[in-house]
Each structure stands twice: as C-alpha cells, then as structure tokens.
Amino acid sequence: MTKYLSKGKFDRMEKLTNDKGVIDALALDQRGSLVKAMKKASEDYGKLFSMKMVYDFKEAVTGVLSPHTSAVLLDEEMGFKGIKAKDPKTGLIMSYEKTGYDANEEGRLPSLIPEQSAQIMVENGADALKVLIYYNPNDKDEINDQKKAFAERFGTEALAAQVPTFFEIVTYDDKYASDSAEFAKEKPQLVLESMKEFTQDKYHIDVLKMEVPFNPSYIKEWNPDRDDGVYTEAEAEKYLVELGAAATRPFIFLSAGVPTDVFQKELKLAGDAHVPFSGVLSGRATWLESVDIYIRDGKDALIDWLNHKGTRNVNGFTEILNQTATPWFEAYGGMDNIQVIDIDNLN
C-alpha cells in the first residue's frame, strides 16, 4: 500500500535522519527530573541552585553534542538556550506536552503547553513535535479514552502543520513500583499492547518512541547476582521481535534512564533479533553522568566531559545504529513506496 506524506512532513523527516535514513537523536527535554537531579547535586556539593544552571547545562550539552547527532529533542521552557546553540544542520524536535502529571488526579493524564501550538513551534524552528503519555492498556476506559483522544488531536493538528509527530509511550501500573519484579513481569504485555494501539493510522503518528519491552535489570543472564530474575535473554529477544512485528510505522527506542552500556546492550539485542527499529532518542544514557560534574566542578569541567566522554557515548550509539537500525522509510516498504504530496499547491 502506498504511503502518502505531505512535502512538509517528508522534508522534515529527511532533516531529522542521518544519511542512512536512521534517527540518531539526542533527548534533552527533561524538565522536572533534571531540576530535581540538579537540586540534589547542589545540596550534595554545598552549591546554591538556580534555574540558570539548567538553562546553561542544556546550552552546553546541545552545543557540544548536537553536531554528532541527526536531531536533538528540546523544550522551549528550559531549553531555549539549547535551541540557539544547536548545530544548524541538526534537526530540532520540540516537546509539546507539559512536564510530569497531576499526582492528585487519577490516570496520569497528559496535557499540552497552553501557549504553544503546532504552527507556533514550526515557526520557531521545529522540524518535529513530541509528546509523552503514560499509558496502561489495562486502565479503565474513561482514562484511556482521554489519552486516545489526546493522541488523535495531537496527530491531526500536526498533520495540518505538515510537521512529523514523535509519540513517546511510558507504561505504568499504579499497583507496582516501576522497578519492581511484579511490574517487570507485566511490562512486555503493556509495551506490546501500547504499540498495537498507537501504531494505528487514525492517530497520524509518524514515529513511535518506545520503551524496550522488558526491564533489563531482571534479565537473568545480565544480572547473575540477583535471584529474582523475570526473563531469560531469549525471552527478552522474543518480546523485541513481537514489538517489531506489531509496528506499522517507524519506531525508535528511548533509553529510559538506564546506563549507557545497558542501553547499548539492549540495542545490540534488538539488532541480533533483526528488529526493524529506526533509531534512538537517547537522553540520560548519554549525559546524566555529567550533571554531578557540572554542579561540582563548573562549566569548563562539563565542556571537557562532553568533548570526551559525552562525544564517545554519542558516537558509540551511532556505531551500533549503523549495524542494527533500519531506515525510517522501510516501515512503508521503501522510499519508492512513498508518494510525496505538495499540499501547499493544491487548489
């Protein structure tokens, strides 16, 4: 079946990918979690925290690392200096959702930044828009129906603005802690069912940003010292294969805050299983170690870390993606199966 894309969307997808058609992107849109980490580090090292630290950190990380990536994900709220520091050849993905959720309200419901719109963000330089939702396919219909409607509104608005959509899904179950063995047992089903839902055409999602469908801390072979392993490596690989088979559009993996070597191991496992993922949006796995260095030793030490360890982290992911990832257009049967429509010239 032919895939139709507006010229605006197609051109922006090309801007977001490397010369192999792979999304090799850096995530730096963390807001509440980054502020929390910096406040803790400031307390630990006897420093006085200010929001300027957050703004300057995003500026430095983006300035040094964006030339090594195909795209960078930033927010205008705290990442405005980072947006200006981005390499002009690197694509810009902008966050459209408010950070976090109202813990006093059932369902972890998402909401958009009220002063933003798809068109405004395009005018401000966005090559793609991203939203995050917390999703449990087993939640009550009155909760999930709101999230499905949210996804449809997001996709339809971006369709009109001719800007690609990145849709990030973080699964949860309020009965269990996210790092518990109980949740680890549920996670494969939650991630797979989420893929099956939001890969549907009606949402107009261009790129799904997915968790790996397991918790790597509970793979028995990877963690031989613990006695509560949940899955074997072969089972984890099977879950990855099922996830890839369910996708009807490009999808990428998020790092979910795991250490760099663990995320690289996950990507290699997906590659070994020939899972057709189209890249990564790697966040904390790339730069989290530098937060303490920045707070403790200052900006010069941060820049030095970024030029050495941070750059190695990024290039390490690029090397793995060159061996494992699938071009985004292969999700539609190849570039020859995509028909680009110049909507601006339609009467």
Q: 45-73, pLDDT tens digit by residue?
A: 999 999 999 999 999 999 999 999 999 99
In the chain, how many domains are there? 1
**Interval 207-244: pLDDT, tens:** 999 999 999 999 999 999 999 999 999 999 999 999 99
Amino acid (one-letter) located at 209: K
- Per-residue pLDDT for 347 more than 60? no
Q: What is the mean pLDDT of the segment spanning 160-172?
A: 98
CB 31 within 8 A of CB 78: yes
- 346 falls in which pLDDT band (50, 70, 90)? low
Identify which of 29, 81, 31 has the alpha carbon closest to the alpha carbon of residue 59.
Answer: 81
Residue given tokens 């959509």 in the structure block: 165
Amino acid (one-letter) located at 294: Y
What is the C-alpha separation between 39 and 35, in angstroms, rounded? 6
Q: What is the CATH number of the domain that holds 173?
A: 3.20.20.70
**Interval 273-302: pLDDT, tens:** 999 999 999 999 999 999 999 999 999 999
Q: 128-135 and 165-171 as β-strands: parallel, antiparallel, unpaired?
A: parallel
Identify which of 269, 265, 259, 258 has the alpha carbon closest to the alpha carbon of residue 234.
Answer: 269
CB 107 within 8 A of CB 139: yes
Domain span including residue 307:
3-345
Residues near 37 by Cβ (< 8 Å), separated by ≥ 6? 288, 291
